[in-house]
Structure 1
Amino acid sequence: MMKKVFLNCGAPEELEVKRIVEIKSLSYLERLERLMAILEVSYMIKTAKKIQSKK
């Protein structure tokens, strides 16, 4: 059975505190993996914009 999807609703300050606690609970390797994923997505978006503008 699939889990229900839960959207983060609440005050931005509360969400920021939750995110900080979540990140602090991660190991160094998990933090690094998240950073690499963000960099990969950022690079893909950047290169996709260049490819579209060339068409």
Structure 2
Amino acid sequence: MKASDPRNAFYWRFVELGTINMPAHPFIRPAFDTTEELAAQVAIQRMNQAIDEVLSK
């Protein structure tokens, strides 16, 4: 797989974590940190909705 292929998920770790020759430029962790609470709320809401659907049968 080529580095320029947009489907290639191999190179993200070098950008995120850096290498011996390249400083880290985190982009995944900051994005996760800013949306963590919202993602948890949405997951809980969907689980409650699924439970309600099962119990209403």
Tell me the TM-score normalised to structure 1 length: 0.45
Tell which structure's C-alpha radius of gyration is larger. 2
Bigger relative contact order, structure 1 or 2 (CA pairs below 8 A, ≥6 apart): 2
Q: By percentage of residues, which structure has more helix? A: 1
Normalised by the size of structure 2, how large is the TM-score?
Answer: 0.44
